[in-house]
Amino acid sequence: MFRALLILLCLALSPSAWASNGLRIDITTSGSRVIPIALPSPAASPQQRVFSETVLEVASADLSRTGAFSLLPVGPQDPPLTEAVAQTPALFSKWKAAGADALVASNVNALSDGRVELRFRLLHTSRQEDLGGLTFTTPATTLDARRSAHRMADFIYEKLTGEPGFFSTRLAYVKKEGAQQVLVIADSDGENAQPALRSTQPIISLAWSPDGTRLAYVSFETGKPVVYSHELASGRRTVVANQKGSNSAPAWSPDGRRLAVVLTQDGSSQIYTVNPDGSNLARLTTGATINTEPTFSSDGRLIYFTSDRGGSAQIYRMPADGSGPAERVSFNGPFNARPVISPDGKLMAYVGRRENRFVIGVRDLSSGQDIVVSDGPKDDSPSFAPSSRWIIFSSRVNGRDSLSAVSVDGKIRTRMSLDTGGIRNPAWGKLPQ
């Protein structure tokens, strides 16, 4: 199965800041097999030319940065290659001879109410097969053109690789801007990046709600760590946990009705569950040992967490309602922490220490097989893509913070850095409903 090269976010607050802030994307390893694809500009009248060109630019960038595709150079088509093109053997043979395994035929139409309609079909030239298509009806804005292009790229990616696309997702991260810490929400390619919170104090432990409408995090703005739930559309914030001592490490249950948090109100770090509005606090762990960094299983029945109850930091799991004992999950290496479960429930990513380097590990929860997918030396905060096939994480190289991404088999790796400031604590959002 093909592995995508993550489209990382542009860590800036506007498209113009991309270049001035010194963004750099390094492909540290790449996949060996690519799909050649022809993606002509959607046929459009002069009035819809900007919309059409934006769709082409964004969809091409989405696909070409995946490492799974090579975009063939395609000039203007005469006659235009629209979604309704006759699918003749001659058409398939022509584009196959040009080197394309896949062809996208598309057009943008103006509607009477001022909106536009983007229509496209994906054709497999080798099999001479129509793989389907979609129609998007949107306002005729550049932002809507970008959103339509991401959805087009998601469709193409899934049909040709067998894995769900992730171009329509959002990413959250914390960026250093002078003396400020800025919580930023961005589209998958970095456009439409918006600051959600600015603070002179740390912001850590970002966690998306299952429906993608809220973000939980820990802020030190009051002088101590407090857990908040932030409604992104309105900007309204709710205090989830502000007990005596430290309040940290929020994690949403799959149904969005509860969060797991870590509190020290009784002295040691213990795991609790709580409603998003801060009500119905319930303690799950006990004892004098440290229990921290909870995360729910994909079905919500278990909580995985880090504990030193065995003498060193290792990963354990227990029933999410606290009804049973905890069992140890990690055994390789002297330190394993920060577990996170893939959306499909099959994998666990974590931070492990190997030969004095902190790296990202991936454990197959069915077979128990572990592999290391990053090099360190200081990798942290893993977060799965909605497809469960990619992990984004923080990394520190030569004293600078950056974001990195890796396929779950470790075969494709990327690194993004920003010359003007550190970037950390990434959290990958959900696919739009």
pLDDT, one tens digit per residue, over 153-202 is 999 999 998 888 888 888 888 888 888 999 988 887 777 888 999 999 99
Angle at 233 between CA 113 and CA 223, to 5 degrees: 160
* Backbone φ/ψ region at 301: left (φ over 0), alpha (ψ -120 to 50), beta: alpha
The pLDDT > 90 percentage for the chain reads: 68
Residue 407: CB atoms within 10 A of its CB come to 24
3-state SS class at 326:
coil
* Backbone φ/ψ region at 123: left (φ over 0), alpha (ψ -120 to 50), beta: beta
Burial 138-149 (b: 16+ CB within 10 A, else e): bebeeebbbbbb
- 20: part of which helix (H) or strand (E)? helix 15-20
Specify the pLDDT at position 7: 29
* Greatest pairwise CA separation for the chain in angstroms: 75
Specify the pLDDT at position 175: 85
- 372: part of which helix (H) or strand (E)? strand 370-372
CB 225 within 8 A of CB 218: yes
Quote the CA–CA distance of 385 and 393 in Å, as a whole number: 11
Specify the pLDDT at position 122: 98
CB 174 within 8 A of CB 183: yes
- pTM value > 0.85: no
The residues near 390 (Cβ < 8 Å, ≥ 6 apart) are 4, 6, 166, 384, 405, 406, 407, 408
Mean pLDDT over the full length of the chain: 87
The residues near 98 (Cβ < 8 Å, ≥ 6 apart) are 38, 72
CA 62 to chain centre: 14
Q: Structure tokens of 195?
A: 């600051």
In this predicted model, what pLDDT tens digit does every residue of 354-409 receive, in sequence order?
A: 999 999 999 999 999 999 999 989 999 998 988 888 898 888 877 777 778 888 99
